[in-house]
Amino acid sequence: MAEKPTLKVLLAGPRGFCAGVDRAIKIVEEALKRYGAPVYVRHEIVHNRFVVESLEKLGAVFVEELDEIPDDGQPVVFSAHGVPKSIPAEAERRRMFFLDATCPLVSKVHREAEHHFARDRHIFLIGHAGHPEVIGTMGQLPAGAITLVEDEDQARSVAAPAGKALSFITQTTLSVDDTAEIVNILRHRFPEISAPAKEDICYATTNRQAAVKEIAPRVQMMIVVGAPNSSNSLRLVEVASRSGCEKAVMVQRGRELDLDLVNGYASVGVTAGASAPELLVEEVLARLRERFDLDIEEIVVAEEKVIFKLPAALAATPAA
C-alpha cells in the first residue's frame, strides 16, 4: 500500500462556537429539560444545520413566525440574532412564555440604537440587508429612524436627513477591514457623526478573522467549516482569500469536502465560524486523513474566556 502524502494543517484558534452561540443553544437545551418537548424556536437558533437538526431530535420545533405556534403554553425561544420589538410584543399579547436567546453583544447594539434615537440622531446601520440581525436591529425603532449602509458605494452616496445629527452602529458579524473602510468614508463625509462607545463587531468575529489572517499567507488552501447563511463564516472565506491564500472553500460537514481540491497541496488551514461546533472540525480532519497523513499545528491568536449567563427564568433552580 502506497504511503499517504503528508499534509501540513494549521488549525485556527479561536474557531467555532462563541459565547453567544453557546448560550443560545444551552437555552434551548435547558428549556427542553425543564418543560419537555416541544420547545418552539423562532428562526434557526444559530445558522448551522447540524445544530438545528440536533436540537430537533431533542424536541425543538423551528418556525419562522409566531403564528405557526399553537397556544399550548410551551416555551418559545427567540434566536441568537435578535428580533424586532414587534415579536416579543406579539408574544406578550398572546401570553406566550418566551425566552430571549439574543446574543448580549447584539442586545448592546439594540441599546445603542435606542440611545442615539433618544438623542434625536439619525442612525446609519452598517450591515447586510435581509440578515436576521439587521432585521432585528432595525426593528428596535420606528420606520425611517435607521438607514442601512451595506458597502463603500452606499457609504459614498447615502443621504443624511436635513438638520439631523448622525450616528452609526454595525452588525456584529462583519468583515473588520470592510467595516473600517465604510466607517472612514462616513466619517470623512460627516465629521460630526457619533460612533459606538465600543466597537460593535464582536470579539469572536474579530478573533476568528485575526486567526485566518495569521494562517492564510502560510497555507495554500483554507477550509472554513460553516453554513452558507452564516455571515461570520462567509466573512472568514473572504478574509482568507484577501490574505494571500490561493484557495478558500466552505463546507458544512466533513463529507462535503472534495479531497481532489486538496491534491497537490502541501498545506491547508482549517477554521470554523462561530456557529459551527468543534465536532464538525473533527469531521473535516477525519476526511483529510482518508488521503493524507496530517501534521497538525494550532495557531492561537487570542484566548477567549467570555461566558454569558442564561436568562433568569432558566438560571433559577426549578421548584421541587
Provide the annotated active-site residues.
Answer: 133
The residues, any chain, with a CB within 8 Å of residue 289's CB and separated by 6 or more, are none
Neighbour count for residue 250 (Cβ, 10 Å): 20
Paired sense of beta strands 247-251 and 267-272, if any? unpaired
- Within 13 Å, how many C-alpha atoms sit on residue 269's CB side? 35
User: Dihedral sign, CA of 316, 69, 63, 280?
Assistant: positive
Cα gap 124→146, rounded to integer Å: 6
Cα gap 20→10, rounded to integer Å: 26
284 with 256: CB under 8 angstroms? no
φ, ψ of residue 162 to 5 degrees: the values are: -60, 135
